Each structure stands twice: as C-alpha cells, then as structure tokens.
Amino acid sequence: MQVIDQRRLPHRFVIEDLKTVNDVCTAIRDMHVRGAGLIGVTAAYGMYLAAREAAGQNDFDEFIRIAAGKISDTRPTAVNLAWAVEQMTNAMKKGRDTEEKTKIALQTANEILEHDIACCRKIGENGLKIIKKISLRKKRGVVNILTHCNAGWLAFGDYGTATAPIYEAFDKGIKLHVWVDETRPLNQGSRLTAWELREHGVPYSVIADNTGGYLMQTGQVDMVITGADRVTRTGDVANKIGTYLKALAAHDNNIPFYVALPSSTIDWKIRDGLSEIPVEKRGGEEVNYMEGLCDGEIKRILVSPAESNAVNYAFDITPAKFVTGFITERGICRANEKNLLELFPEFV
Ligand code: MRU
C-alpha cells in the first residue's frame, strides 16, 4: 500500500510504502497518515496486509485477531478506525479458507475506500446549499469560512469533509475566502489545509489559533465548518483540540457552526461526549518543538525552555448545544438524537 507521508507536507511530497501490519501501525500512530477517514481506510488496507502476512503463519485466524487489536489500538479517538477494523473482521469471517478470506479483505478495503469517497462527495453537495444561501444573502459577496485542523482530502480517501462544500462552492463560482486556523501543536491547518487550498486555487489566510474569536466579533466570519473524529448519538463532537473554543466564540457571535462528517464517524453506542469519548493524549515534545523549512532544509526547533513539561491533549469535546448542524452524506440535520435518527433510522 502507498500513502502520502503527511509529516513532510507542505515542503516535501513523499510517498511511503507500507508493507506490513507493523508499518501500518507506525504510520497511523506517528501520523504519517492522519484524519478520521484516512486512518479508517489505512486500517482497512492494513487488515488486507495482515491477511497476506498471515498466509505464512500456522494460525491464520489468530494472526488476524492480533493484527486487528494492534491496528485498533494505534489511535483511540477517531471511531472510523475501530469501525473499519470491525467491518473488515466481520467480512473476512465469511471466507471459507485463507485464500477466500484474503480476497474478501481486499474487496472490503476497496469498498470502504469507495464508500468514504462517495460520502465526502455527498457532503460537498449538501454543504454547498448552506454556502449558497450565505452568498445570496451577501448579494454574492465573498463568503468567509473559518476551519480548524485539516478535514480535507488529505484526511479522507478524497474530497474531505469540512473542505468538500468549500471546493464544491468554489468550483461553482461562489466567491469565498477561508480562514485557516494553524492548529497547534502539529499545525494541520497551516501545513495541510493551506497546502490543499493553495493547490486548488481557493483564497485563504492562515491565522494563529487565537485569532478566530476576534475575527468573529468584527464580522469577518460568515460560518465555521469543521470535521469530526467521533460524534455521539446525541450530537456531542470530538474534534481537534481547539474546536470547542471556536464553537464557543461562534455561539457568542451568532455565527453558524457546522460539523461535516460521514456517518462512519458517529458512534451510535455512546451518548455523552465528555465522559464516553476517549481523548488521545500525545507526547509533550509535539508542543515543545516545531518543524519547518529553514534555508532549504526541514528543521525541528525547540520553542519552550529546555525540558519544559508539556501537556498535549489531541482532541476536545464540543457539546451538541453549540453545533448549528451536521452536514452528512444523507443531508443536513440539527445536532441532536432525534434529527440524527431521522437521517439514519437504521440506528433507532
Ligand atoms: O490528529 P488528526 O490530525 O488525525 O486529527 C484530525 C482532526 O481532528 C480533524 O480536524 C478532523 O476533523 C477529523 S478528520 C476529518
């Protein structure tokens, strides 16, 4: 399997080969690949690689079981990862022998990827309606959209979630401008979202994470769109650290705050975000150090006093009450259980 090593972007475009389950686990844990949808898709192909590796082992099923556990344990918050591993495990159980199980694994991984792409496309079409309305209200003036982290095509099989409506609107000729939160500590906004938007030709400005509130108070933001890593059936949202603060500021300034997600990001088993969503804590070095281009070379620099203790929660929880609506593959709904179930009645 080949992936873009996202740690190198935006300054280098590096393709990495992942050949074994261990390669896949390292790539997900160390964030060569990241973003809820993409880690789900990578996990699915990781299970296919596990099936190929298992062919040379004494106990095929036991090898697959251990691989499923290892892959699921790499990152805890985005539910798409566990969801994809479960889909793969259930599908592979239907195979009669190792050959058939391996064939099913590849087929299912391809289906998960295709499904992910199709969902993002639909999210784009559905979200376009909201941007169009704002554009008409502004008499076709520039629509200013704030986004946090990277929920673009890099974070999924293609198109992305938060960026899908933006690309759709831009391609249809709607004038827009995107405020890109840098998203410390790993800067998924300034490194990845800015790179994606630049490649697509969408006007954007990178802002320091603390800028959004002031922009909202001064009428420079028309809407916020973020992605999600896990959503409860009641509509609480886990997303990149800092999302909650943007939602609070948007609420205080009456600015619509939308979350774009495929239904594979909804964890129908849980109701309360704060107590039930596992929030990943990563190493403090991600806070103490920053990486960037210096004299043509990628360099890592220390930005805190040497040996500072640093705390690094990777996600936070935005309560449903601060979310204006969800943009999903089946349409737009309010962030509550009743409205989510109207779109997805199979989970009643
Ligand atoms: O830690 P990451 O980069 O994997 O986290 C990704 C996010 O939190 C994104 O904001 C996101 O919305 C989920 S991916 C669409």
Answer yes or no: do 178 and 94 share one domain.
Answer: no
Q: How far is the centre of ligand 1, averaged over its atoms, from the C-alpha of 94 (Å)?
A: 32
Please list every protein residue whose CB sits less than 6 Å from any atom of ligand 1.
Answer: 34-37, 149, 151, 155, 161, 188, 226-229, 239-240, 314
Nearest C-alpha neighbor of 290 from the set 305, 274, 301 = 301
- Do 239 and 323 form a contact (C-beta atoms < 8 A)? no
Catalytic residue among 229, 236, 267, 316: 229
The 10 Å Cβ neighbour count of residue 274 is 12
Answer yes or no: do 153 and 279 share one domain.
Answer: yes
**What total of structural domains would you count in the chain?**
2
Ligand 1 pocket mutation, candidates 150, 225, 326, criterion most atoms within 8 A of CB = 150
Nearest CA to ligand 1 atom 8: 240
Q: Please state the atom number of ligand 1 nearest to the C-alpha of residue 227.
A: 12
Answer yes or no: do 86 and 207 share one domain.
Answer: no
Q: How far is the centre of ligand 1, averaged over its atoms, from the C-alpha of 234 (Å)?
A: 20
Q: Name the domain boundary from 115, 134, 158.
A: 115
Q: How far is the centre of ligand 1, averaged over its atoms, from the C-alpha of 249 (Å)?
A: 20
Q: How far is the centre of ligand 1, averaged over its atoms, from the C-alpha of 95 (Å)?
A: 34
Told to judge if 171 belongs to the known catalytic residues of this protein, a careful annotator would answer no
- Do 279 and 316 form a contact (C-beta atoms < 8 A)? yes
Q: Considering the entire predicted model, what is its pTM?
A: 0.96
The DSSP H or E segment spanning 118 is: helix 98-137
- Do 51 and 67 form a contact (C-beta atoms < 8 A)? no
Answer yes or no: do 131 and 92 share one domain.
Answer: no
Give every CB contact of residue 296 below 8 A, 6+ residues apart in sequence.
none
The parent domain of residue 18 ranges over: 2-115
Identify the CATH number of the domain in which residue 26 sits: 1.20.120.420
Answer yes or no: do 65 and 149 share one domain.
Answer: no
In the chain, the amino acid numbered 276 is E
Q: Name the domain boundary from 75, 94, 115.
A: 115
Answer yes or no: do 67 and 148 share one domain.
Answer: no
Q: Name the domain boundary from 115, 146, 161.
A: 115
Answer yes or no: do 146 and 22 share one domain.
Answer: no
Answer yes or no: do 107 and 182 share one domain.
Answer: no
Answer yes or no: do 182 and 81 share one domain.
Answer: no
Q: How far is the centre of ligand 1, averaged over its atoms, from the C-alpha of 346 (Å)?
A: 26
Residue 56 is predicted with a pLDDT of 78
Nearest CA to ligand 1 atom 15: 151
Answer yes or no: do 332 and 243 share one domain.
Answer: yes
Answer yes or no: do 29 and 65 share one domain.
Answer: yes
Answer yes or no: do 30 and 91 share one domain.
Answer: yes
Q: How far is the centre of ligand 1, averaged over its atoms, from the C-alpha of 44 (Å)?
A: 18
Cα separation of 212 and 102, whole Å?
48
Q: Please state the atom number of ligand 1 nearest to the C-alpha of residue 31.
A: 4
Nearest CA to ligand 1 atom 6: 35
Identify the CATH number of the domain in which residue 317 sits: 3.40.50.10470
Ligand 1 pocket mutation, candidates 182, 188, 267, criterion most atoms within 8 A of CB = 188
Residue 139 is predicted with a pLDDT of 98
Nearest CA to ligand 1 atom 5: 35
Nearest CA to ligand 1 atom 14: 35
- Do 258 and 324 form a contact (C-beta atoms < 8 A)? yes
Q: Please state the atom number of ligand 1 nearest to the C-alpha of residue 161.
A: 15
Residue 188 is predicted with a pLDDT of 98
Per residue of the chain (348 residues), what is the pLDDT tens digit?
A: 999 999 999 999 999 999 999 999 999 999 999 999 999 999 999 999 999 999 878 899 999 999 999 999 999 999 999 999 999 999 999 999 999 999 999 999 999 999 999 999 999 999 999 999 999 999 999 999 999 999 999 999 899 999 999 999 999 999 999 999 999 999 999 999 999 999 999 999 999 999 999 999 999 999 999 999 999 999 999 999 999 999 999 999 999 999 999 999 999 999 999 999 999 999 999 999 999 999 999 999 999 999 999 999 999 999 999 999 999 999 999 999 999 999 999 999
User: What's the CA angle centered on 246, arms 204 and 163, to 5 degrees?
Assistant: 40
Nearest C-alpha neighbor of 84 from the set 34, 42, 29 = 42
Q: Please state the atom number of ligand 1 nearest to the C-alpha of residue 228.
A: 12
